[in-house]
Amino acid sequence: MVPDEVRALARKLRKELNYHNYRYYVLDDPVIADAEYDRLFRRLLELEERYPELVTPDSPTRRVGGKPLSAFEEVAHVSPMLSLDNIFDRAELREFEEKLHRYLKSDQPLTYYVEPKMDGLAVELVYEDGIFVLGATRGDGLVGENITPQLKTVRDIPLRLHEEGMDAPGQLVVRGEVYMDKEGFAQLNRRRQDAGEPLFANPRNGAAGSLRQLDPRITAERGLRFFVYAVADTDAVPCSRQSELFPWLLKLGFAVNPHVKLCHGLAEVEQRYDYLLSIREKLPYEIDGMVVKVDDFRLQKRLGNTARAPRWAVAWKFPAVQATTRIIGVDFQVGRTGAVTPVALLEPVNVEGVVVRRATLHNRDEIERKDLRIGDTVLIQRAGDVIPEVIKPVVEKRTGREKPIIFPDNCPVCGHPLVRGRGEAVIRCVNPHCPAQRLQSLIYFAGKSGVDIEGLGKKAVEQLMEEGLVRDIPDFFRLKKEDLARLDGWGEKSAENVIAALEKAKRMPLARFLGALGIRYVGEVTAQLLASYFTSLADIMAATKEDFLNVEGIGEQAAGSLVDYFSDPSTRAMINELLAEGVTILPPSRGEKVLAGRVFLFTGTLSSMGRNEAKQIVKELGGQVVSGLSNRVTDLVAGEKAGSKLKKAKERGIRILSEKEFLELVERG
Ligand code: IVH
């Protein structure tokens, strides 16, 4: 038997957590710290672990995804999930309104609700007495698939509605779009590329692939999002227009797209189109157009639906970001770490105002998986700021004269044999003296991720290397104003500026210098860890693999790569030359944010200082402190009598620091 007070506490926690989840995900306006949320979450989880009968379908702990399903079950929709008719220009918009006027037998001015058209997947959600009980895909519009456990992992789908004073019906059926934002999509594809798995062509496919996972735990990891845009039955809700429905749904706990607008007449609709098109690339998710809906529900009723789509709404599509063109050749590019990336050379094609001539093919596996050939007509896509990519060949257009794409066995620049790492999709040139790698390393060193020398962008570095002025990093610091000023496209002023920027860059913090070297597996964070642990370049150059492995946060791969890099005589010569040119590497100083990006959790008692003091120090050094265990925690500091948190943190593979190790870490900072 569960004691009454425990039951009440669990209810209270669920309510609070659901509310904070809403503040965070739907309103983007949290009212408590993450740490506090984590603490409430842990308390509920602990109660539910002790008393499994307390678990309810709306418990926020259910969002992590339950057991895998063996198959999706079919569900009939309460009313058909319709599609939308598309229009592509202003003339078609006029025709749309003329038709509305004909159907309504009146020329009355019409008011439209205009919403971005999300490029994701339509789903239906059923709430009974305020609880989310069933979620389904659109399927064929009449029958979809039951994906309730998968949908429960989507953070902005409320598991329980905030019903108080909202007049919600006993059964509420809403419809909306599940989508993956651009950032989540890029991350997912990066992970898949690293794992040698096939990439998703666009966020929409990413969302679809993630939602139709029989194992909802996989869905949970994909960070899907949701916007509601309709109810199945407008008679069941206390609203009389679409523009009232949105605020009502928001108050119930749903996320609604904030870029919606009530438009009086077509001129305003057209303005809205221009506006949405202009912000399209800046939005964190993809939209492929906008939906124009007659605002008034009574008019919607009178207009009714065809078998396929409502008469009262239309999708005004944006120009395609996809286009077809032909692959006329393939270039193999060698990157800074030697990775060879195939790039398709295309017949130039205009995609939404930008002429595309090249598109990435990612790697050899991707070429094989998509079965691409030279001469193929292909579908390409350009989205936001990402590099255009080839999606697939148009097989029907093959003539038989297409040629296979042959991945070279040797580096196209230096001729050294290429190597494929075990379990890697990437094929590399491993010649450390390869000029292509050297050029990319120089670009990296001078660029924003490196020491950031203004005026020495990609083009300038290429030019300096072609002119033979720069071959290796120390050469930057040997540049003379006269040499630069006589180069094509340079002048006195730009030469002077670059020389001044180089002079300033000569005093560089250790972490920045290490990061700028572009050592494989050593990014900004690792460089920071190394700098705060070793504090001097000499110590790093003298370190063994074991020494590197002693640094918390540095693994086998980075340690190996560091040893290889610093034991190479040419590295040592390069560093000596730099020092001879007057470059000074500055040790990390106190006040530098050496703990930036790390999240600390304390457990047990510290003997040398109070908990608050320790927290203060972490914050001063740029770290964060939380009070509950969550996926965000990077370091657990275990004092005396550390309890269950220590055990759980170990199980999760979180870095554990003793008090002594913690003191060493912060004292170095
Ligand atoms: S309303 C009966 N509103 O577009 C009304 N649909 O091409 C049907 N979509 O299947 C949909 N954003 O997946 C509506 N703001 C929005 C939408 C939207 C995206 C999708 C939806 C639908 C498809 C129709």
pLDDT at 68 (0 to 100): 77
Q: What is the mean pLDDT of residues 229-240?
A: 96
Q: What is the mean pLDDT of residues 442-461?
A: 92
Q: Is the CB of 366 under 6 A from ligand 1?
A: no
> How many whole angstroms from its chain centre is CA 181?
7
Ligand 1 atom with the smallest distance to the CA of 122 is 13
pLDDT-based confidence at residue 266 (cuts at 50, 70, 90): very high
pLDDT exceeding 90 applies to what percent of the chain?
Answer: 58
Higher pLDDT, 421 or 573: 573
How would CATH label the architecture of 4-64?
A: Orthogonal Bundle (1.10)
Q: What is the mean pLDDT of residues 480-498?
A: 94
- Establish how many alpha carbons lie within 13 A of residue 440's alpha carbon, considering only the half-sphere containing its beta carbon: 18
Q: What is the mean pLDDT of residues 86-106?
A: 94
pLDDT at 590 (0 to 100): 57
| Homologous superfamily of the 321-404 domain (CATH) | Nucleic acid-binding proteins (2.40.50.140)
pLDDT exceeding 70 applies to what percent of the chain?
Answer: 98
Q: In a 10 Å sphere around its CB, with 0-12 CB exposed, 13-18 middle and 19+ buried, how is residue 306 labelled?
A: exposed
Q: Which residues contact 450 (CB under 8 A, 6 or more apart)?
A: 444, 512, 515, 516, 518
Q: From edge to edge, which strands make up the β-sheet containing 635-638?
A: 624-626, 599-603, 635-638, 655-658
DSSP 583-634: -EEEPP-TTS-TTTT-EEEEESB-SSS-HHHHHHHHHHTT-EEESS--TT--
Q: Is the CB of 124 under 6 A from ligand 1?
A: no
Distance 59 CA to ligand 1 centre (A): 29
599-668: CATH class: alpha beta
Q: Is the CB of 594 under 6 A from ligand 1?
A: no
CATH of the domain spanning 85-317: 3.30.470.30
pLDDT at 264 (0 to 100): 97
Give the C-alpha separation, 25 to 17, whole Å. Answer: 12
pLDDT at 348 (0 to 100): 93
Q: Work out the angle between the directed axes of helices 659-668 and 611-620 (0-180°, nearest 10).
A: 40
Q: Is the CB of 310 under 6 A from ligand 1?
A: yes
Neighbouring C-beta atoms of residue 264, cutoff 10 Å: 12
Domain boundaries defined on the chain: 4-64, 85-317, 321-404, 435-505, 509-586, 599-668
Neighbouring C-beta atoms of residue 325, cutoff 10 Å: 21
For residues 348 and 393, the answer to whether their CB atoms sit within 8 Å is no
pLDDT at 277 (0 to 100): 92
> How many whole angstroms from its chain centre is CA 466?
37
Distance 175 CA to ligand 1 centre (A): 9
Distance 220 CA to ligand 1 centre (A): 24
pLDDT at 591 (0 to 100): 56
Kindly report the pTM of this predicted structure.
Answer: 0.60
For residues 497 and 455, the answer to whether their CB atoms sit within 8 Å is yes
**Beta bridge mates, 658:** 638
Lowest model confidence (mean pLDDT) among 2-6, 535-539, 615-619: 615-619
Distance 654 CA to ligand 1 centre (A): 43
pLDDT-based confidence at residue 271 (cuts at 50, 70, 90): very high
Q: Is the CB of 87 under 6 A from ligand 1?
A: no
- Establish how many alpha carbons lie within 13 A of residue 411's alpha carbon, considering only the half-sphere containing its beta carbon: 21
pLDDT-based confidence at residue 346 (cuts at 50, 70, 90): very high
| Fold match flag (435-505 vs 509-586) | yes
pLDDT digits (tens, 9 = 90+) for 152-194: 999 999 999 998 888 889 999 999 999 999 989 988 887 887 7
pLDDT at 281 (0 to 100): 83
Q: 648, 432, 622, 664: which is closest to 535 by C-alpha?
A: 664
> Exactly one of 67, 117, 293, 301 is catalytic; which is it?
117
Q: Atom 3 of ligand 1 has which residue's CA nearest to it?
A: 229
CATH of the domain spanning 509-586: 1.10.150.20
- Establish how many alpha carbons lie within 13 A of residue 292's alpha carbon, considering only the half-sphere containing its beta carbon: 32
Pick the CATH number of 435-505 from 3.40.50.2300, 1.20.5.510, 1.10.150.20, 3.20.20.70: 1.10.150.20
Q: Is 117 annotated in the active site?
A: yes
Ligand 1 atom with the smallest distance to the CA of 117 is 12
With the most atoms of ligand 1 within 8 angstroms of its CB, the residue from 81, 118, 290 to mutate is: 118
pLDDT at 592 (0 to 100): 63
> With the CA atoms of 300, 306, 307 and 309 taken in that order, what torsion angle do they form, in degrees rounded to the nearest 10?
-60
Q: Atom 16 of ligand 1 has which residue's CA nearest to it?
A: 117
Q: Is the CB of 253 under 6 A from ligand 1?
A: no
pLDDT digits (tens, 9 = 90+) for 368-400: 999 999 999 999 987 655 678 898 899 999 999
Lowest model confidence (mean pLDDT) among 203-207, 229-233, 627-631, 632-636: 627-631
**Is the model's pLDDT at 431 over the cut of 80?**
yes
Q: Is the CB of 461 under 6 A from ligand 1?
A: no
Distance 66 CA to ligand 1 centre (A): 29
Eight-state DSSP code of residue 54 = G
Pairing of strands 322-334, 377-381: antiparallel
Average pLDDT over the chain, rounded to an integer: 90
Q: Is the CB of 122 under 6 A from ligand 1?
A: yes
Q: What is the mean pLDDT of residues 333-361?
A: 89
Distance 72 CA to ligand 1 centre (A): 23
Q: Is the CB of 229 under 6 A from ligand 1?
A: yes
**Which SS3 state, helix, strand or coil, does residue 518 take?**
coil
